[in-house]
Amino acid sequence: MLLVSCGGGSGDGAANGGTSAKPTSEAASENARLGSVETDLLALINEERQTVGKPVLVRDPGLDTIMLWKVAEMASTHDLTHEDSNGRKGEERVRYYGAKTTARCSEIIQWWGGSPSGRVHYLGYFNSPPHHSAYLEEGLYNLGGAINVGIAGLSGTGPAGSQYAGSNGSYTGLIICDTGITIAINPFSE
């Protein structure tokens, strides 16, 4: 069971059957943080990037915070979309919370049913041409050799309105940017 979304995304949570609840740091902790999924997923992406001559991605604490907030929002609203409850997509979110108006970013997100590993999430991204292009920075997703990434994985039930609504699973997301950031506005405090 896999649902994926890449790039821009559209619509609001209500249109996709979700709610408009905003995540808090407590809400993020209600869903189990999947540290080994995050670590394994990034290791596999970096292994592939190295085989094609791309630099490895390095976790950025500011981007991690922004991605954790977005994944927590998806898990709490059961909504798989790039547009957050504030109407911002990945790159706009980084520019807003990081006060870095020139940041260029690509965001990839997905939900898997069951108890998937980092490898399962990786294969979901690998087998989806837009996701694959985004993390390899190909075509429309070329950021010029980005090395900064925010990554998060949380347990959560399937997206509302989908055949997986109510099913146990996990959400993952990556935001790859051409620059690291320092959080100017904490997304969990808004």
Q: Look at residues 59, 65, 56 and name the one whose alpha carbon lies nearest to residue 94.
A: 65
| CA–CA gap between residue 105 and residue 11 (Å, rounded) | 20
Kindly give the confidence (pLDDT) of every residue in the chain, 190 residues in length, as a single tens digit, with 9 standing for 90 and above.
444 444 433 222 222 334 445 555 554 544 567 788 999 999 999 999 999 999 999 999 999 999 999 999 999 999 899 999 999 999 999 999 998 889 999 999 999 998 889 999 999 999 999 999 999 999 999 999 899 999 999 999 999 999 999 999 999 999 999 999 999 999 999 8
Q: Look at residues 118, 88, 117, 123 and name the one whose alpha carbon lies nearest to residue 105.
A: 88
| Parallel/antiparallel/unpaired status of strands 58-59 and 2-6 | unpaired
| CA–CA gap between residue 64 and residue 34 (Å, rounded) | 13
Q: What are phi and psi of 41, to 5 degrees?
A: -60, -45
**Phi-psi bin for 64: left (phi > 0), alpha (psi -120 to 50), beta?**
alpha
